[in-house]
Amino acid sequence: METWLKLKFSNFNIRQIAESGQCFRIYEEDGIWRVPAFGRLLKIREMNDDEYDFECTPEEFNKIWKKYFDLELDYGEIVERLNNSNDAYLKKAANFGKGIRILRQDPLETIISFIISQRNNIPRIRNTITKICGGKDAPFPELSELEKYDLDFWRKMGLGYRAEYVYEIIKSISEKLLDLETPKDLKYLDALTYLKQFKGIGDKVANCILLYGYHFTQAFPRDVWINRIIDRQYNGIFYNDHLDDIAGIAQQYMFFYERYGVEKKQQRVKIVLTKI
């Protein structure tokens, strides 16, 4: 009873989206992409350029996935805007990652996931989150589940020192001390301040939460990758103010280009040498 909905997009590349570091659960198996989100498991088959089959009904697509993949926003225009800027690096990055979209993820899942991500590596983050969900395709637990877990549970999930952060923040959410709806009503900077009140959410994690969980596209998370780009390409100084509401999207292009673009060569050499 598989129903594949044939779709054609512009500026949509599921691999780029999956590898752009904004989510930890999308994966590919036997040529099929699996997207566990909002309690469902979407399967996606890549056909030709920009052509994809989604295993869902048109109703489900319109109701859930159109929004999740941010398909209402014209990313072609954003790439174009960056192409018209004076920033040579950003131009290259945007053209390289032009299939990326900023997912509109569930705030709760985003908060927990990005607390876990701090001082951590991607394979381990993915494994940890899979373990918390109880399987690669299993939905991320609801708050009603999460609040049952004690500190020891989070330690056993392998969170290390992040266990207390997660445990305390879930408690704060349960007690409505941290209201998941509040950031939606605030301006970007106020939402940032709001989230940073909570132990375990610093500047980088708060920006990730705002960008991926609340779609504040002006949020510009600075992680080690972005800082490395700023050091090498911008002499250590990069203001994102002029990018305004596309700063977060630009950041995504930069991150993806740094990880998978041509600049990667130097690092590859290093890895090879280490192995010899």
- The residues binding DNA (CB under 7 A) are 21-22, 114, 117-124, 155, 158-162, 196, 198-206, 208, 221, 223-225, 274
Q: What is the rounded CA–CA span in Å between residue 158 and residue 194?
A: 28
The nearest distance, CB 57 to DNA, in angstroms, is 31
Q: Strand 32-37 vs strand 51-55: parallel, antiparallel, or unpaired?
A: unpaired
The nearest distance, CB 242 to DNA, in angstroms, is 20
Nearer of residues 199 and 232 to DNA, judged by Cβ: 199
Place of tokens 């991150």: 255
Nearer of residues 101 and 162 to DNA, judged by Cβ: 162
Nearer of residues 97 and 221 to DNA, judged by Cβ: 221
Nearer of residues 20 and 61 to DNA, judged by Cβ: 20
The nearest distance, CB 86 to DNA, in angstroms, is 26
The nearest distance, CB 53 to DNA, in angstroms, is 26
Nearer of residues 141 and 158 to DNA, judged by Cβ: 158
- SS3 per-residue string spanning the chain: CCCEEEEECCCCCHHHHHHCCCCCCCEEECCEEEEEECCEEEEEEECCCCEEEEECCHHHHHHHHHHHCCCCCCHHHHHHHHHCCCCHHHHHHHHHCCCCCCCCCCHHHHHHHHHHCCCCCHHHHHHHHHHHHCCCCCCCCCHHHHCCCCHHHHHHCCCCCHHHHHHHHHHHHHCCCCCCCHHHHCCHHHHHHHHHCCCCCCHHHHHHHHHHHCCCCCCCCCCHHHHHHHHHHCCCCCCCHHHHHHHHHHHHHHHHHHHHCHHHHHHHHHHHHHHC
CB 256 within 8 A of CB 16: yes
Nearer of residues 7 and 112 to DNA, judged by Cβ: 112
Nearer of residues 47 and 122 to DNA, judged by Cβ: 122
Nearer of residues 176 and 228 to DNA, judged by Cβ: 228
Residue in 97, 113, 136, 103 with CA at minimum distance from that of residue 251: 97
Place of tokens 């960056």: 82
The nearest distance, CB 155 to DNA, in angstroms, is 6
The nearest distance, CB 247 to DNA, in angstroms, is 15
The nearest distance, CB 161 to DNA, in angstroms, is 4
The nearest distance, CB 117 to DNA, in angstroms, is 5
